[in-house]
Amino acid sequence: MTRPYVLDVSGYQPQAKYYNFWQNWKNRGVHGAIVKLSESTYYRNPYGAGQIAAAQHEGMQVSGYHFSRFRGNSQLAVNEANYAIATANSMGLPHGSVLVLDYEEKLGYRSSNTQAAIAFLNTVKSAGFTPVFYSYSGMAGLWDFEEIHRQTGAMLWIAAYPVMSGVTEPYMNYFPGISDHIGAWQFTDNFYGEHIDASVDLTGVFTQMTQQKITSGGNLDSVSFDGNGMKVSGWFASDKAQGKQYTYIILTTEDGKELSRINVVTHDRPDVAKTFPDIPGGEKSGFEAVFQYTSEMVGKKLHVIFRYTDDPAGNGNFVDYVSLLDLTKSAANLDNVDTVVFSNKLQVSGWFASDMSLGLGRHFLILYDSAAQHELQRIKYDPASRVDVQQAHPDIFDSELSGFSGQFDYSSDLVGHQLQVIARFSDDEHGEGNHIDYWFDPFNGPAMPVIDGKTETEILVHSFNAEEVKDGLISLKFK
C-alpha cells in the first residue's frame, strides 16, 4: 500500500496560497499540508492564513509548525508556545489540529532541551492542539524523545535525507528508526526536484482525515473602542476547566510580559454549545472585559488570554486560550477633492483613524507635490464625528472621531501637477515630533473653476480685477 505524502511550506512558498499549487501536488499523492506559522516570538508567516485556506479548499488535512529558538529555556518555551497558539488561532488552524514543535538548534544540553520541549508541547496540548515533535535524526543526542513522548504523548516527525537530489519516493531501506513513536518521516527537501520538503505519513498523524473529538476551543470574537476603553469579547470552553472556578482575561506582549488582567464572569453562549457539543461548559463560555487603552499597547501585537484557574488571583493551576490582538491598524479614505469657486482654494475631505494615534492630539492636513517631493502647505483641522466609520471599523482606536476637512491655497500653477494629501496625527503644535501619517494616492491638480456662462452669482468683495484671457473668457481676481 502506498503511504500518503505531506508537504511542509513556509514563507518561502508564497505560491502555496493558491489552489492550483495543492491541486498539482495532490496528483502526486500529497494528502496533507504542514504550514509554518511562526518562529520564536518575532516572526509570523505572512502567507500562513492563505496557505491554510488553500490547502483546506483542496481537501488537505492541515497542520501547523513553529520554529523554536528557546534553546533549553522552559519559560521561553512556554512564551513561544503561546505565540504559536495565538498565531494558529488567528490564522484559522482548526481546533484539534496538529501543532508541531520544530526543534533544530544544535545548542544546549540534553536534559534542559528535553524539559523545554516538554513545556512547549504540553502548553500546546492544553490549548486543544495535538502536539508533535520534529527534529533531525542526527540531533538525537540533544534531546530525549522517549521522555518527551512519555510526558506529552507527542509523536515524532523525524527528518533524514538519504538522497539530496530530487526524489519522487522515500527509500525505506534508509528509514531512521530511532523510536517506536515515529509518525512521519521527512525524507527530502527537494521533492520532484522542486526544492520543497516532503514527508511520508506512516501513522496518519498528518493525513488521517478523521474528525477528532473537539474538547477544547475558543475564539476572540471582537475588539471595539469607546473613547480610551477597549472592549474584548469572545468565548473559551475546555474539558480541563473543571475545578477552575475563576475566570480572567489577560493581556500580554508577544514575549509574555503582562500588561493587564481583569477577573470576569462568563456569560451564556448557546451558539457555542450547539456548534461544539463535545466541549464541556460551552453553554456558559462567553468572556468580555473593557481594558484601558494605554501607551504600552500602542502599535503592538498583543496576546489576549482567556483563562480558567483555581486561584482567585488568576494564577495557580490554569488552562488558557490565547489569541492575537493587532493594535497596529490604520485605515483612511479621501472622500472628496475639489476646487472652490471664487476663493482659489482646494477643498479636501475624508477620514483617518489609527491605533497609533493615542496621545497624538494635534491634527494636520498636508498638501504635497509628489513630483517635486516637497511640502506645499500644512493646515490644522479639528476632527469630526464619523459614525459610519466607527460602524465599519469598530476595532480601530478613535474611529468615531476620524473625519477631516480643510482648504488649501490653490492656484493655476498647480493645475495638472501630481499632488498628494497627507493626514497626520502629532503631539507637536507644528505637526512634527511624534506623529503618524497616512499618505493618500497621488492625483493630478484639478482645473480652476470656470462659470458656465449662464449662472448668476453675487458675492461681496473689497476689490477685484478683471481681464480677458481668450475666446471671450474673463479672469476675475477678488480680495
Long-range CB contacts (< 8 A, 24+ apart) of 343-346? 343/407, 344/409, 344/410, 344/411, 344/448, 345/407, 345/408, 345/409, 345/410, 346/407, 346/408, 346/409, 346/410, 346/414, 346/445, 346/446
Q: What is the pLDDT confidence band of residue 451, given thresholds at 50, 70 and 90? A: low
For residue range 209-247, list pLDDT tens digits in order: 665 678 888 999 999 999 999 999 999 999 999 999 999
Nearest CA among 266, 337, 274, 327 for reference residue 301: 327
Among left, alpha and beta (phi > 0; psi -120 to 50; other), residue 378 is beta
Q: Is the pLDDT of residue 149 over 80?
A: yes
Mean pLDDT of 279-294: 97
Position 471 scores a pLDDT of 65
Topology classification of domain 330-444: Immunoglobulin-like (2.60.40)
User: Does residue 458 surpass a pLDDT of 70?
Assistant: no
Q: Work out the pLDDT band at 343, boundaries 50, 70, 90.
A: low
pLDDT at 210: 61
Give the model's confidence band at 20: pLDDT under 50 very low, under 70 low, under 90 confident, else very high.
Answer: very high
Mean pLDDT of 326-344: 88
Burial label, 243 (beta-carbon count in 10 A; 0-12, 13-18, 19+): exposed
On the question of pLDDT at 457 being above 70, the answer is no
pLDDT at residue 208 greater than cutoff 60: yes
pTM of structure: 0.83
Please tell me whether residue 9 adopts helix, strand or coil conformation: strand
When pLDDT is averaged across residues 93-105 and rounded to a whole number, the result is 94
Q: Say whether 330-444 and 5-201 share the same fold.
A: no
Fold topology of 216-326: Immunoglobulin-like (2.60.40)
What mean pLDDT value characterizes the chain?
Answer: 93
Strands 474-478, 464-468: pairing kind: antiparallel
- 5-201 fold: TIM Barrel (3.20.20)
pLDDT at 464: 75
Q: Which residue has the higher pLDDT, 456 or 189?
A: 189
Residue ranges covered by each domain of the chain:
5-201, 216-326, 330-444
Report pLDDT for 191.
95
Q: Is 199 helix (H, G, I), strand (E, B) or coil?
A: strand
Provide mean pLDDT across the span 334-344.
81
Task: Report d(CA 303, CA 250) in Å as an integer.
Answer: 8
The C-alpha R_g of the chain, in whole angstroms, comes to: 29
Query: Tens digits of per-residue pLDDT, 56-95?
Result: 999 999 999 999 999 999 999 999 999 999 999 999 999 8
Q: Is the pLDDT of residue 459 over 70?
A: no
What is the rounded average pLDDT of the residues 258-278? 96
DSSP state of 21: H
The cell for 371 is 513630483
* pLDDT for residue 473 is more than 80: no
| % of the chain with per-residue pLDDT over 90 | 84
- Reading the block at residue 259, the C-alpha cell is 500588561
Residue type, 297: M
The predicted structure's pLDDT at residue 452: 57
Determine the pLDDT at residue 344: 84
Given a cut of 70, whether residue 455 has pLDDT beyond it is no
Is pLDDT of 450 > 80?
no
What is the per-residue DSSP string for 304-360? EEEEEESSTTS-SSEEEEEEEEE---EEEEEEEEEEETTTTEEEEEEEEEEGGGTT-
Average pLDDT over residues 307-332: 96
How large is the average pLDDT for residues 373-382? 97
Percent of the residues in the chain that have a pLDDT greater than 70, as a whole number: 94
Q: Tell me 252's DSSP state.
A: E
* Confidence at 476, pLDDT banded by 50, 70, 90: low
